[in-house]
Chain A
């Protein structure tokens, strides 16, 4: 046997390199691009879920008066014997929200907990908590008292959620809970890195750009004056697959979509001079971005910027959003299906584009499964489009049903959430 100094020789790595052949890049490229698409699409949907939940719960706005706590600290979950696990077992907790991560591997469930108020044993104090489940593993958070509502759950990456509560914003994954540092004041987009945008209206009044790896959340200067979307899947800002920031603006009677490049350069695309309903939503698929908006007369339009020519092409999707509101209380709800087709769900009519160009659509009655489910927004989960579910009345009595999912937008099935 040779001496250790002789044995610890780079020849080992060189020979391992020599034994390796570079496989086709296409499969790896496909995996990375697919993941990027799913994460962004789900994040956009989740933003709307947050907004919708706020609209229905009517919860008081929590002021951010607490001093920031130490950051980057990993905290584990409690087990089934913790306070939340006991409350669930005893029936003192009900499901308020269920959301899948973008890759479909992880489920985050938000619970409303009824606990006796220690200061007044004859009344119940509002409390919340959440569980995270992946495969057969599950984690239970602490029970947070006197908090009626927090940002329910915004998937920001595979298996990772942004969960806000009073005084902090956390990254929650099966690996643990990590508090994010929120940087202020708003920084230029060109100075930031990020994986997803999430909305935290209560504490920050708008979007935060989340950098999962660094554990940072940043306010973005270019989004400072972007009006928050108010309903359903409406997203007034989005990150495109190639890392550009898109935002909706309304000024001087014009509605425009503003694209900000990673180097800070920007371009505006005017899509309407006057709209009957300011509700509009950004959608995207594989780098193609569009905006859904309601024109005078109630017709729904899909406008797609031509980034090289600097103009906008608009397609008409009539009769989708004219008759009242969806179950989520919105004019419409939309998602891009895994194959690139655009699915728009109105109160009674569903429109699905014939292909990924979004130029033409066919209409159908809204499927019964979607009509009877109170959804908190549509989003991409794995290879399906799913409707997250939530309790619009915060009743604390009835569990919300499991999310429903579809590959084609017409046939929906329950995605079981039991282990």
Chain B
């Protein structure tokens, strides 16, 4: 049995995937959890994984699916165990404005937060976002538009509150 292929992808893509999932999960530790789980699934289904055209896109799709609520609940049970295998957590070095942005994104509906995080924060093209979230490109564009509007409103409310 040879998991070298998965290992190579792991070494090349792990950190980048965690960075991309950070905005989706809103938490670096959780992003690590879902990305690690995606790699475990790649090993479990190695044959299928080897046949994918774009292994990183496959992992991203799995990780996004895992980040959804019902899976997150399942992961929580293993979290204590897995924390021992997690890299030492250091919060990203973000500007205060970006910290506020991430806070505001937590209030967005999940489907809007996913596409904004993947398109704007992870810099993925819309078609790759569509693949990752399993939605048509048009749907992703609509979610982006609605999400940005909602986010602008949330940030505006925060700013008004801070001035008050």
Q: Which residues of A are found within 8 Å of B120, using beta-carbon distances?
A: 8-10
Q: Which residues of A are found within 8 Å of B11, using beta-carbon distances?
A: 22, 25
**A13 close to B93 (CB less than 8 A):** no
Residue in B43, B88, B155, B158 whose beta carbon sits within 8 Å of that of A36 in the complex: B43
Further 18 A-B residue pairs, CB within 8 A, beyond A32-B3, A211-B48: A1-B100, A1-B158, A2-B97, A11-B98, A12-B94, A13-B22, A16-B19, A17-B15, A19-B90, A28-B10, A28-B40, A28-B43, A32-B44, A35-B40, A36-B45, A36-B46, A193-B47, A242-B46
**A25 close to B10 (CB less than 8 A):** yes
Distance, CA A4 to CA B159, complexed state (A): 12
Asked if A7 meets B3 with Cβ closer than 8 Å, knowing A16-B92, A23-B86, the reply is no
Q: Is B75 an interface residue (CB 8 A)?
A: no
**A4 close to B155 (CB less than 8 A):** yes
Name B97's closest neighbour in chain A (CB-CB): A2
Residue in A7, A12, A24, A241 whose beta carbon sits within 8 Å of that of B1 in the complex: A241
Distance, CA A2 to CA B87, complexed state (A): 32
Encoded as 1 (CB less than 8 Å from any A CB) or 0, chain B from 144 to 163 comes to 00001001100100110000
Asked if A243 meets B46 with Cβ closer than 8 Å, knowing A9-B120, A13-B122, A31-B40, the reply is yes
**B121 close to A10 (CB less than 8 A):** yes
Distance, CA A241 to CA B45, complexed state (A): 9
| A interface residue count range (under 10 / 10 to 19 / 20 to 34 / 35 or more) | 35 or more
Q: Is A14 an interface residue (CB 8 A)?
A: yes
Q: Which residues of B are found within 8 Å of A18, using beta-carbon distances?
A: 19, 92-93
Residue in A12, A21, A29, A35 whose beta carbon sits within 8 Å of that of B88 in the complex: A21
Distance, CA A35 to CA B101, complexed state (A): 38
Most chain B CB within 10 A, of A18, A19, A195, is at A19
Q: Shortest CB–CB separation between residue B6 and chain A, in angstroms?
A: 7
Asked if A1 meets B159 with Cβ closer than 8 Å, knowing A13-B121, A25-B11, A32-B40, the reply is yes
28 A-B residue pairs with CB within 8 Å:
A1-B158, A4-B151, A4-B152, A7-B155, A8-B120, A9-B98, A9-B120, A10-B121, A12-B22, A12-B23, A12-B94, A12-B98, A12-B101, A12-B121, A16-B28, A17-B19, A20-B19, A21-B15, A21-B88, A22-B87, A25-B7, A29-B43, A31-B40, A31-B43, A32-B40, A33-B3, A213-B45, A243-B46
Q: Which residues of A are found within 8 Å of B70, using beta-carbon distances?
A: 175
Q: Is B66 an interface residue (CB 8 A)?
A: no
Q: Which residues of B are found within 8 Å of A66, using beta-carbon distances?
A: none
Q: Shortest CB–CB separation between residue B151 and chain A, in angstroms?
A: 6
Q: Is B42 an interface residue (CB 8 A)?
A: yes
**B152 close to A33 (CB less than 8 A):** no
Name B21's closest neighbour in chain A (CB-CB): A16
Name B51's closest neighbour in chain A (CB-CB): A193
Q: Which residues of A are found within 8 Å of B18, using beta-carbon distances?
A: 16-17, 20
Distance, CA A35 to CA B6, complexed state (A): 15
Distance, CA A19 to CA B93, complexed state (A): 8
Distance, CA A23 to CA B18, complexed state (A): 12
Asked if A27 meets B155 with Cβ closer than 8 Å, knowing A15-B92, A18-B92, A35-B44, the reply is no
**B97 close to A16 (CB less than 8 A):** no
Distance, CA A15 to CA B20, complexed state (A): 10
**B87 close to A36 (CB less than 8 A):** no
**B47 close to A7 (CB less than 8 A):** no
Encoded as 1 (CB less than 8 Å from any A CB) or 0, chain B from 92 to 131 comes to 1110011011100000000000001000111100000000
Most chain B CB within 10 A, of A9, A16, A22, A39, is at A16
Q: Shortest CB–CB separation between residue A157 and chain B, in angstroms?
A: 8
Q: Is A205 an interface residue (CB 8 A)?
A: no
**A27 close to B85 (CB less than 8 A):** yes
Distance, CA A13 to CA B31, complexed state (A): 11
